[in-house]
Structure 1
Amino acid sequence: MNQHYKDITLLATGASDLHVLEEIQSLWSGYGSIVRIGLENCNLKSVVAKHVKMPNKKKHPRGWNTDYSHLRKVKSYEVETAWYQNFASKCNFNCKVPQIYTIESKNHEVFMLMEDLDASGFGERLTTVSWQEVETCLSWLAHFHATFLNEKPEGLWEIGTYWHLDTRPDELEIMGDQVLKDAAPLIDEKLNGAKYLTFVHGDAKLANFCFSEDGKQVAAVDFQYVGGGCGMKDVAYFIGSCMYEDDCEKYEQRVLDFYFKELLIALKNNGKMVDFEELENEWRALYPVAWTDFHRFLKGWSPGHWKINSYSERISRLVLEGLSTKR
């Protein structure tokens, strides 16, 4: 860590000195890193710093090195900065996010200093989950969506998620599934035309949730693609990230029943007065549409991906059939 960022960290925390404990991860495509920092003579034992530095030479693990891809990533860090500055404080413990201590953004670099979730009791990272942990994350999503229902995503992505159609022209162009490709704008229109919209996390995969030791509490990280949208986008994407094909089908109704039970509680807690039956009916109908939307992205981005399975194909066919009968 150079002296400038060291000074920023010491000023923000009141520590007398610091040392880098570890690199938690490097950022996608070489855009920087996330490190854990130990502090001396401070109420905080440690903090986490996310340092984004735009590379001169663009690289991508799957070969997507276009200017469009680069500009999307640049905007994603601008969005994350706006999220922490203007919206993160609205999240309570039911949809816990890291507390932000300071942010600096200039000269193609972003430096974010935030709460160390490990030190706050969210030190577990999971690659497989029990039903308890699925419910914990669904509850987080429900409370997050309730918090931002009908809010305007100013400074965020107008339409959230990293796979949103308008931000993925390269992947759409090379799609081999012509029927799904032709229907992509209609799928997008159906999702974005929902009466009830909220903020979506935009990358709510299992890897972006930090669990308590007992799995009953969770916090979420990585808000580069937060923005407006139907909450089903997050739910479908999360389930696809942590359940195998057979379980996605087997537990579909159980997932939705639990999510909407939690959403009703969360809306009441947030004082959001809406026609809940109307909202639930609309969003339940959009769950397979949201699933198909991500399936569309995958078939262009990584045609051999393990998530392209018979369940996703079946869901997509049903959605496409429904769209064609209404045209």
Structure 2
Amino acid sequence: MIESDRFDANLTAFVLRSTGAATISSTEVVQSLWSGYGQIVRCHLTGGETQSVVLKHVRWPDQQTHPRGWTTDHSHQRKLKSYQVETSWYERYAQRCVDACRVPKCVAAEHRSDGVLLLLEDLNAAGFAGRRRSVGDAEVDACLSWLASFHATFMGEQPEDLWTIGTYWHLATRPDELNALDDSPLKTAASELDRRLSGSPFQTFVHGDAKLANFCFSLDGRSAAAVDFQYVGGGCGMKDVAYFISSCFDEDECERRASTMLDRYFEFLHEALKRSDKAIDSRALEANWRELYPIAWTDFFRFLQGWSPGHWKAHRYSKRLASEVLNSL
């Protein structure tokens, strides 16, 4: 816990002005942002209608400290844009996410010369206090249902003021990692993988970082909300699904369960598209995206092999899919 008298006066004024609260009784650091770009802080309030909010306080660092050594200017500029994208997401799009793809409500946002302030609803107080390091069937269904509803909501729309192509590993935003890639066949195929994913006639918005750690759960695990929209943008929904599965399961579980999880995702997607009243041929969409699932996985594997060779996700299942995809190109 951090005592309230150590909370910056300007931040205090921003929170109180935005919420109408009288005081901040205490603050609690939820987590530090990647590479020293700030903190996420829970603020406990008194004297207003809201008992707590979450402040995402982004500060441009004087010196970058990436945990894996990636501290180029290109990396810095990508992070700057990611926080601008996240602010645009909350200001322009987040309110369209209904309960089926729950996100925190944006209380206030402010751009500053030294960073960004995002004041968000506290999902813990809204009934999503659960965090998971491992998942059962209920949590998997909750996340796949969330992704399906999210993809259905934004199906066919243009990502204005977001990433043109979402995900934090997108090829165009990762030239350093591509240059570091030693796998020649994968390196040669990188542009074709991207072309096929971007060439799908069924484009939507992707969360862009849909790992397990970015989902918050109801106490029974049957409902989920998502956070962290720095890499939201256009794309094929299989990118999110492949990445989510990779974040939850080891190679044996991926081999055993991936097919069933894809089936569940498409069940949820068909239902969500019906609710959305969008004129989409959902069976044609499913056929197209099923073909793109191994390509989406291989595209992420391509990034991993350049970014962190030997990463635990670069396992037998990843290598098998990549080999099959490369042989089919």
Q: TM-score, normalised by structure 1?
A: 0.98
Q: Where do residues 1-327 of structure 1 align in structure 2 (5 Å cutoff)?
A: 1-323=7-329
> Whole-Å Cα distance in 2 between the matches of residues 242 and 111 of structure 1?
31
Structure 1 residue 188: Cα displacement: 0.5
* Maintained 8 Å contact 1:204/1:237: yes
> Whole-Å Cα distance in 2 between the matches of residues 74 and 298 of structure 1?
22
Structure 1 residue 247: Cα displacement: 1.2
> Whole-Å Cα distance in 1 between the matches of residues 13 and 274 of structure 2?
44
SS of the residue 2:107 aligns to: strand
* Maintained 8 Å contact 1:38/1:45: yes
Moved more, 297-306 or 248-257: 248-257
Q: CA RMSD in A?
A: 0.8
Structure 1 residue 108: Cα displacement: 2.9
> Whole-Å Cα distance in 1 between the matches of residues 316 and 259 of structure 2?
18
Q: Which one-letter code corresponds to 2:126 in the other structure?
A: S
SS of the residue 2:66 aligns to: coil
What percent of counterpart residues are identical?
Answer: 56
* Maintained 8 Å contact 1:20/1:35: no
> Whole-Å Cα distance in 2 between the matches of residues 64 and 2 of structure 1?
30
Unaligned stretches of 5+ residues in structure 2: 1-6
> Whole-Å Cα distance in 2 between the matches of residues 246 and 22 of structure 1?
38
Q: Which one-letter code corresponds to 1:59 in the other structure?
A: T
SS of the residue 1:149 aligns to: coil
Structure 1 residue 3: Cα displacement: 2.1
> Whole-Å Cα distance in 2 between the matches of residues 20 and 76 of structure 1?
29
SS of the residue 1:127 aligns to: coil
Unaligned stretches of 5+ residues in structure 1: none
> Whole-Å Cα distance in 2 between the matches of residues 10 and 209 of structure 1?
27
> Whole-Å Cα distance in 2 between the matches of residues 319 and 69 of structure 1?
29
2:3 match: none
Structure 1 residue 2: Cα displacement: 2.2
> Whole-Å Cα distance in 2 between the matches of residues 13 and 268 of structure 1?
37
Q: Please give the per-residue CA displacement for 1:2-37, whole angstroms capped at 9, x wherever unaligned.
A: 222212211211111113331000100000000000
> Whole-Å Cα distance in 1 between the matches of residues 194 and 99 of structure 2?
32
Q: Please give the per-residue CA displacement for 1:242-276, whole angstroms capped at 9, x wherever unaligned.
A: 01111111112211111011001101111112111
SS of the residue 1:24 aligns to: strand
> Whole-Å Cα distance in 2 between the matches of residues 26 and 276 of structure 1?
40
> Whole-Å Cα distance in 2 between the matches of residues 263 and 108 of structure 1?
41
SS of the residue 2:231 aligns to: coil
Q: Number of residues paired by the alignment?
A: 323
> Whole-Å Cα distance in 1 between the matches of residues 18 and 111 of structure 2?
15
SS of the residue 1:122 aligns to: coil
SS of the residue 1:251 aligns to: helix
Q: TM-score, normalised by structure 2?
A: 0.97
Moved more, 279-288 or 242-251: 242-251
